[in-house]
Amino acid sequence: MKRFIPVMVVLVLILAACGQTSQSGNPEWVDQLIKQFEQDLVGNPPLSIWQYEYDGQVVYFVPAHCCDIPSVVYDASGAILCSPDGGITGKGDGRCDDFFDQRTNEQLIWKDSRSH
């Protein structure tokens, strides 16, 4: 029984860390993405992160910021779901062709305020 308690404590700590939000209210992976973007060169247009509801779940959308770079839709855990536009064809990867028509509850999470 004594061994069981430490194992349970570790499991509880691991489960608590999954999907954890930061002080900003964002998932921690979103804050890490923002930190990464702030270390990169300023995009044109500036980088941004938007939150939506899509296909029954909360998603995060990063619009394309240059040329043939595809935009990215992430699920709440930070996994890439799809690229609705951009890329060489401008049509993304074809996995969420209805994203722009079906997304709802738009919320700006972050926009790069740095100037060129």
Would you say 58 and 50 are in contact if contact means Cβ atoms under 8 Å apart?
no
pTM: 0.79
Output the six-digit token pair for 61. 């959308």
| Residue 40 dihedral angles phi and psi, to the nearest 5° | -80, 170
Domain range enclosing 106: 22-111
Residue 71 is assigned to a structural domain of this protein: yes
Tally of structural domains, the chain? 1
The helix/strand count (H/E) of the chain reads as 3, 5
Task: Examine residue 70 and say whether the peptide bond preceding it is cis (omega within 30 degrees of 0).
Answer: no
Residue 1 is assigned to a structural domain of this protein: no
Q: What angle is formed at CA 27 by the lines to CA 103 and CA 76, rounded to 5 degrees? A: 40
Residue 16 is assigned to a structural domain of this protein: no
Q: 48-81, pLDDT tens digit by residue?
A: 999 999 999 999 999 998 778 899 999 999 999 9
Pick the range with the lowest mean pLDDT from 6-10, 60-64, 101-105.
6-10
* Mean of the per-residue pLDDT values of the chain: 84
